[in-house]
Amino acid sequence: MTKISKDFDGQTVLTTFEMTPGTAQELMDALTDAYENFISRQPGFISAGLHMNDAQTRIANYSQWRDRKDFQAMLRTPEMRDRNKHIHGLCSRFEPVMYEVVAAF
């Protein structure tokens, strides 16, 4: 379960995906499958959430990792590289950005 706290000392990653409504559900299915069957089983994974806007043109992903190196190692695996090629084909762009929690209310 994702818990946002200023005291969290791990790595937070926010990823945004831009797509058309025609590929939104297929992209959400691909992301859900990636988390259920691969990402959530990787060392250092803590939690994640997927969010889609009403227009089905954006998906936001919030994930927490024990350490920045754990997230980066997951991205470098052959399986995640293959999955990201498929995911990239379903959206016009996606961008993972690492953040530190500064405040939580």
pLDDT tens figures, 4-55: 899 999 999 999 999 999 999 999 999 999 999 999 999 999 999 999 999 9
The per-residue pLDDT for 44 is 98
Domain-wise residue ranges, the chain: 11-99
CA–CA separation, 102 and 98 (whole Å):
13
pLDDT at 1 over 80: no
Mean pLDDT of 63-87: 97
What topology is assigned to 11-99 in CATH?
Alpha-Beta Plaits (3.30.70)
* 45 close to 39: Cβ distance less than 8 angstroms: yes
Beta strands 93-99 and 58-65 are unpaired
